[in-house]
């Protein structure tokens, strides 16, 4: 039987999947529950993501929560001294230092909840997500619905011909696709 209660230890939760799979919506749901439980919650997003709001995390279903913008993962540690729960959205846009930041936060007995794309538009592991998945105590894989056939979708299909790895966009540039309907980009 464990001798420590959840309050005496921290952990990392990762919510991952393709675009339009409900990652941010699930992150917001967990953070709201923590707020209802009167826990101190800090919410962060990378500066590069300004699609819906500059100072909120926003789901495609228009749920939103106020967030702090950070340029680097290291800033998160400095901004969370009193927080019990730390939420991080769009984790794929950070560099690999996010992995150690999350580990440090968990070592400080914080619950760390991270949401992000696990694969880029080429179907390859994206940014720090593989490292975060290997460190996480809890993993939730969300699936969208393929816009072509209606099957569970695990891929993000880029519709534009841009070849940069990071191209911030929404339905104008991306679709959720299943394994059968996903078309690997020609590069």
Please give the Cα distance from 145 to 44 (Å, whole number).
27
What are the CB-based long-range contacts (under 8 Å, 24+) for 68-72? 68/42, 68/43, 68/44, 69/44, 69/45, 70/44, 70/45, 70/46, 71/46, 71/47, 72/97
pLDDT of residue 51: 59
pLDDT of residue 3: 46
Please give the Cα distance from 182 to 177 (Å, whole number).
5
Confidence of residue 114 (pLDDT cuts 50, 70, 90): very high
90 has catalytic annotation: yes
Cβ count within 10 A of residue 156: 25
pLDDT of residue 4: 47
Model-wide pTM > 0.85: yes
Confidence of residue 55 (pLDDT cuts 50, 70, 90): confident
Query: 90, 135, 186, 187: which one is catalytic?
Result: 90
Q: Which domains does the chain have, with CATH numbers?
A: 6-142 (3.40.50.300)
Q: Which two tokens stand for residue 35?
A: 């707020």
């Amino acid at each position: 039987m464990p001798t420590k209660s959840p309050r005496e230890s921290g952990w990392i939760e990762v919510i991952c999947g393709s675009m339009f799979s409900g990652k941010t919506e699930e992150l917001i749901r967990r953070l709201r529950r923590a707020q209802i439980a009167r826990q101190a919650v800090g919410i962060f997003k990378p500066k590069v993501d300004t699609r819906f709001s500059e100072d909120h995390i926003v789901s495609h279903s228009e749920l939103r929560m106020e967030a702090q913008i950070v340029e680097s993962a290291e800033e998160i540690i400095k901004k969370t001294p009193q927080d019990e729960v730390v939420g991080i959205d769009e984790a794929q846009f950070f560099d690999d230092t996010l992995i150690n930041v999350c580990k440090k936060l968990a070592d400080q007995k914080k619950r760390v909840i991270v949401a992000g794309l696990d694969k880029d538009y080429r179907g390859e592991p994206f940014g720090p997500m593989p490292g975060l998945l290997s460190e996480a105590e809890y993993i939730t894989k969300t699936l969208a619905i393929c816009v072509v056939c209606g099957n569970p979708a695990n891929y993000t299909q880029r519709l534009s011909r841009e070849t940069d790895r990071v191209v911030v966009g929404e339905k104008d540039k991306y679709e959720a696709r299943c394994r059968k309907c996903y078309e690997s980009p020609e590069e």
